[in-house]
Structure 1
Amino acid sequence: MGEALGEALARAQREYWERTYTAHPGMYGERPSESAVQAVTAFRPGGALLELGAGHGRDALYFVRRGFAVTATDFSPVGLDQFAGRARAEGLAVSTLVQDVREPLRLPADAVDAVYAHMLFCMALSTDELVALVGEVRRVLRPGGTLVYTGRHTGDAHFGAGTGHGDGIWEHGGFAVHFFSRELVDRLAEGWGAPGSGPFAEPSVEPFEEGELPRRLWRVTQRKPG
């Protein structure tokens, strides 16, 4: 995927999500995703948690209610405003940051205990951008901190459908997805520990399904060496 195409696709996707969140407030409902419910079992209770691609905040609110100190990020100010408004209505303290994950994360090193991203990694991000993003995640995580992310994979029904942009990215119905191969998962886990050094030295990869299609995803858990 060339640089010009990548910039144009990123701009188009940002506009897509701004329109979508504006037209459909709370589009994913009030309940947390299955992935968020599963993720808390991998995180240190009560720690500082960064969510990437929080959208309108259904999972971020769940984490706050479970006692985490949450910073929610998204490249959509509309989605974050919806999340912050719901948090205020419940009297919950939250922090939000407008963040394009193609840019360095706006947090200092060793700032959080956990990073969570539900389907953010499988947005229209090139492999090089994903590698850079995982490097940034590792930077902001404290030693021993945990990353949990989910992504649609190459077994999904929409893989290969619609408009192909190269690098595993396919656009269907205006929504571009980077479909993950297992090789990509392993590449993003490089440097997160040597095999045999602990339970998360190699990534934990759990398949699951979501939605009516259904979307086929992996939930990946990996830990920064401590």
Structure 2
Amino acid sequence: MAGDAHDLADAQQAHWQSTYSAHPGMYGEAPSGPACHAASVFRKADARDVLELGAGHGRDALYFASEGFSVHATDFSATGLEQLREAALTRGIAGQVTTSVHDVREPLPLPDDSVDAVFAHMLLCMALSTREIRAVVDEVGRVLRPGGTFVYTVRHTGDAHYETGIAHGDDIWEQGGFAVHFFPRDLVDALADGWVLEDVHSFEEGELPRRLWRVTQTRPA
């Protein structure tokens, strides 16, 4: 990773730490729409354990646990994960949730073929280079059991913020201190190479509104 891009990613980590500290539970307690969909997909696939990447303060990880899944939640914000653990204790589901502070630029702290399902809501469209995104998906494929399912969401190049704000190259644009890697469709297809691409669903979320794809792909059995 080039020095300036590495600095950008490190700055984003500090940004999220301070954001979660200033705004505990900033996304509320209700699960995201993609998490509700993913839980249904995982249940139909008879998944028992879920790895969530970029879990933040845990609204989706807590939802998966409440739905009966065993959840391993990772994020590079220790502050967000602390809020997640406190909420799990309050809800009486702490025994179903484990957490790890983890930077997705590094290998996942899990053995090969060790989880049934992986979920990542807007994690892959953070300030990551295309090379790093490919490496993350390779790691997901490594830790998933054969036949396991990966559901992720990303903002795409049809989003109103694409090509606005500060340009960092590689389709990464920064608005208000928050950097996003906007996905062209060919990147989604490239990331599914060697997988079974089950579904690419377009949807909108939040203000603006943000325009995203929800991607479901399966590791071949």
User: 1:187, 1:128 → 2: CA distance?
Assistant: 12
Say whether 1:210 aligns with 2:182.
no
Amino acid of the structure 1 residue aligned with 2:76: F
State the 1:25 CA deviation.
Answer: 0.1
Structure 2 equivalent of residue 10 of structure 1 = 9
Q: Give the aligned residue type for 2:188.
A: V
Residues 163 and 170 of structure 1 are in contact (CA less than 8 Å); yes or no, is this contact kept in structure 2? yes
Instruction: Give, in whole Å, the separation in 2 of the partners of 1:47 and 1:4.
Output: 40
Distance 1:5 1:129, change over 3 A: same
Cα shift at 1:202: 2.7
CA RMSD for the aligned pairs?
A: 0.9
Residue 213 of structure 1: CA displacement?
A: 1.0
Measured in 1, the distance between the counterparts of 2:127 and 2:34 equals 21
- Name the CA distance, whole Å, in 1 between partners of 2:213 and 2:8: 24
Deviations 1:116-165 (A, max 9, x none): 00000100010000111100000000000000000000000100010010
Give ranges in structure 2 of 5+ residues lacking alignment: none
1:189 correspondence with 2:184: no
Q: Give the whole-Å Cα distance in 2 for the aligned partners of 1:45 and 1:217.
A: 27
Maintained 8 Å contact 1:45/1:67: no
SS of the counterpart of 2:151? strand
- 2:166 corresponds to 1:166: no
Query: Aligned runs of 1:82-121 on 2, under 5 Å?
Result: 82-92=83-93, 93=95, 94-121=97-124
Deviation at 1:45, TM superposition (A): 4.1
2:214 is the counterpart of 1:219: yes
User: What code does the residue aligned with 1:20 have?
Assistant: T
Answer whether contact 1:186 1:203 (CA < 8 A) is retained. no
Q: What does residue range 42-121 of structure 1 map to in structure 2 within 5 Å?
A: 42-43=41-42, 44-45=45-46, 47-92=48-93, 93=95, 94-121=97-124
- Residues 163-203 of structure 1 show CA distances to partners (whole Å, capped at 9, x for unaligned) of 010001000000000000000001111111xxxxxxxx234
CA distance, structure 2, for counterparts of residue 130 and residue 225 of structure 1: 20
| Matched residue, 2:125 | 122
Question: Contact (CA 8 Å) 1:119, 1:151: kept in 2 or not?
Answer: yes
> Unpaired runs of 5+ in structure 1?
193-200
Shift of 1:6: 1.4
Indicate if the aligned counterparts of 1:113 and 1:145 stay in contact, CA closer than 8 A.
Answer: yes
SS of residue paired to 1:50: strand
Residue number in structure 2 paired with 1:198: none
Q: 1: distance between equivalents of 2:91 and 2:40?
A: 24
**CA 1:146/1:46 → structure 2, altered by over 3 Å: closer, same or farther?**
closer
**Aligned 8 A contact 2:34 2:214 in 1:** yes
Fraction of identical pairs, as percent: 63
CA 1:87–1:40 in structure 2 vs 1: closer, same or farther (change >3 Å)?
Answer: same
Q: TM-score, normalised by structure 1?
A: 0.94
Instruction: For residue 49 of structure 1, give the secondary structure of its aligned residue in structure 2.
Output: strand
Q: Deviations over 1:40-82 (max 9, x none)?
A: 1211345110000000000000000001000000000000000
Q: Distance in 2 between matches of 1:39 and 1:140?
A: 18
Match of 1:196 in 2: none
Aligned residues between the structures: 217
- 3-state DSSP class of the match of 1:209? strand
